[in-house]
């Protein structure tokens, strides 16, 4: 299962400010609409959001960004995480005693 991008709007703000990627490339990587990325570049959207570097977060590499800047049709790929966090186990429904199963408020 692929990991989702952390803070997509903050990542988009950083990519708009610090790279020469196209709006479509940034939108595809951050799962945003290209017009929303254009609004970020214009300053209309995400005005108070600080940019988060995907390089420092370990989500992208500098080589990946340089490759995407050279080829406008290239789509950025999320890097593999260095640490895999196991999914938390969900607890199932609790046992309801037979004597309380027909009591409506507690039956559910």
For the chain, what are the domain ranges? 8-70
Two structure tokens written together for 96: 């309801």
The pLDDT-based confidence of 85 (bands split at 50, 70, 90) is confident
CA R_g for the chain? 22
* Dist. CA 11–CA 97, nearest whole Å: 51
Residue 97 has pLDDT above 90, yes or no: no
Distances (CA, A) of 75 to 27, 30, 64, 71, 106: 10, 11, 9, 9, 53
- In tens, the pLDDT along 17-76 reads 999 999 999 999 999 999 999 999 998 888 888 999 999 988 899 999 999 999 999 999
């Amino acid at each position: 299962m692929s990991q989702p991008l952390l803070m997509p709007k903050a990542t988009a703000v950083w990519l708009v400010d610090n790279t020469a990627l196209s709006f479509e490339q940034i939108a595809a990587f951050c799962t945003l609409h290209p017009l929303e990325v254009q609004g970020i570049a214009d300053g209309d959207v995400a005005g108070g959001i600080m940019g988060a570097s995907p390089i420092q977060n370990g989500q992208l590499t500098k080589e990946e960004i340089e490759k995407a800047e050279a080829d406008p049709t290239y789509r950025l790929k999320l890097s593999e995480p260095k640490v895999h966090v196991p999914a938390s186990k969900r607890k199932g429904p609790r046992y309801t005693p037979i004597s309380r199963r027909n009591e409506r408020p507690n039956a559910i």
